[in-house]
Structure 1
């Protein structure tokens, strides 16, 4: 087998992601650069005495699982050889961030969480977003308000985050409006411990990405609490609200409030492993008649998608 140097032959993107991570994106980029299907990767690993399934390889490159056990780390070392990568180039991305700092939790690529991921990728690139924003959520309270026209009026978030690398000073908040949304009219308000920076949006997909700037640079392991609100009201009838989590492990509380003159007849919570997956784990949710709200609580959310859906009369 001819082993090529990624510094000479692989796309520049591979060089970059091998330096910055995260692991799953580096692995996926390396496999794509070599033009190998996962079953061929599995076969070449088997030739070296490493037996691992295509499903596990798929989970690793999606960020749904991280290799941690000794036999898995041996497989990663063999993958470096199979893919013609420098020794330790993948293994070091599995080490705790910052050399003994905060360990990055299990993650999943944002591309699996958004149906319009190609557009989102362009917007994030305009804001100079690295593959891994360097933050994962510890606690997230979100309040959504539905208006008298059945439209999403506002969504407010209060988040506690932890940095898993040094130098993080911002958070990129993503809003995906309902059909009919006019993203140019969506407004973003910084409520606490942040300020609004650059804003990018796509009219065709109703996606708005906002840069929320902190007044401090976080070191690995440090935490930050901040709040912000998207003011929309431009879309059509809203029938569900979903939140995608690139990283797992945090607590998530979602509350949806309805106008007194427009109450749904049925509400339920659900989960999805990706934007393209079918909903699973549906549970009926009681609607509070007094407060006209419905909510869900997940102690260990993500990676993946959580949401509340409802039916209008």
Structure 2
């Protein structure tokens, strides 16, 4: 008889449990709302938690409080921060983590969680007054993995990383998901951590965590970084080369790496992520300098930056209405051939 695997997902202080539900159901705990048009400077993708009725329809009931400052009606159906309100860890014993997908594989627009805007929507990065697109460097079309970030992590720019002796890059930890499916912007998926690469970007540590979607058809084959070498030969080499060269078409030098570009294993990567989670906790509890980062959140208990769902809605409604004008870019069609 097929085993029944329980789903247990934590939504900042409230537990949502459902027996015999596959882990992919956790994706439905978060909804997205687009404002403006893609490839425009005012495009934003906001996040909401699913409504109570939707959760009940999914069979995700059995609410149990572990945080007195929240109630079921305040957890579900409201705007949330993609950076702060989506939990990092899904299932601690099995080391499953939530990944927020910012950039689907084979696309070029440099989308990212906006760390400085209230409620931290996803938007397209702008450099020198222009929307940013990652170049196609033959033979690769755009990003070669589903790319995103771990919520509730922060690479502290005021603290040196003990492994690289460089400060952090002031962003959530970056994630490369190597599964077979092309995901969608705004997906929140469960991943297994396999290893990490330490990019040094303008003197700052910029970890790239290698993961695989727990629901990928081949996920059971992947447990550590050596499994990537075994079952996807050439992928890690392509990953290193991609990060080394992706800024060269813009006239910048090749990127550098700690550890001579060596990929570190699962245990090392999990320690990196856990350390960045502790840095995030210190920031959200106002125990360190957070600079220009918006720490506004809805579900982080005891955080001095916590706001009500009504205040979160007001913050989002105060964002200027998008112009609906779309910038047409040829950057996604241009190819670069490098020696």
Give the TM-score of the pair, scaled to structure 2. Answer: 0.24
Q: From the CA coordinates, give the structure whose radius of gyration is larger.
A: 1
1 or 2 for the larger relative contact order (CA 8 Å, sep ≥6)?
Answer: 2
Structure (1 or 2) with the greater strand fraction: 1
